[in-house]
Amino acid sequence: MQNIVSESLTRNGNGSGAIINARGIPRRGWTPEQRAAAAADAVLGATHVVPSIKQSAATFSVSPYRVRQELKARAAAAERERQAEYARQGALPIVSAWDHATPQGRAEAIRLIGVSDVWDVIARIVG
């Protein structure tokens, strides 16, 4: 879950760039004028403010637990997609070889792989 937060648009929030991590705002030691200017920049879209989980939950009237659960679900979905893409990339050379093989070459490939292994894969795909 931490990856999905840290790999988002946020930076470290130390003032470099136009992105502020809102968790650190109270500890910055800004004057009221500096805080007002930063707030105005955020309203105008000049600065991107990334709220903490607690701040975001309060803004949208949900519990921080629900926000954490959503972040975990999104991280899990992103990981599943990454693994699916990895599998697709690994399958491309096999598909290319299959497409270029003769019928006799395909039959020999199945013999080398093992008929039972091929049937096992087909059974998983079909259901």
Asked if the structure places residue 105 within a domain, the reply is no
Residue 22 has pLDDT above 90, yes or no: no
CB–CB of 56/66 below 8 Å? Answer: no
- Computed on alpha carbons and rounded to an integer, the radius of gyration of the chain in Å comes to 26
What pLDDT does residue 11 have? 45
Model confidence band, residue 14 (pLDDT cutoffs 50, 70, 90): very low
Asked if the structure places residue 106 within a domain, the reply is no
Amino acid at residue number 77: A
Asked if the structure places residue 24 within a domain, the reply is yes
Q: How many Å apart are CA 69 and CA 73, to the nearest integer?
A: 6
The total number of structural domains in the chain stands at 1
Determine the structural domain holding residue 74 and report its residue range. 2-90
Asked if the structure places residue 19 within a domain, the reply is yes
Task: Give residues with Cβ within 8 angstroms of 109, minimum separation 6.
Answer: 97, 98, 101
Mean pLDDT of the chain: 86
Asked if the structure places residue 50 within a domain, the reply is yes
Instruction: Tell me the per-residue pLDDT of 42-81, one tens digit each, with 9 for 90 and over.
Output: 899 898 888 889 999 999 999 999 999 999 999 999 999 9
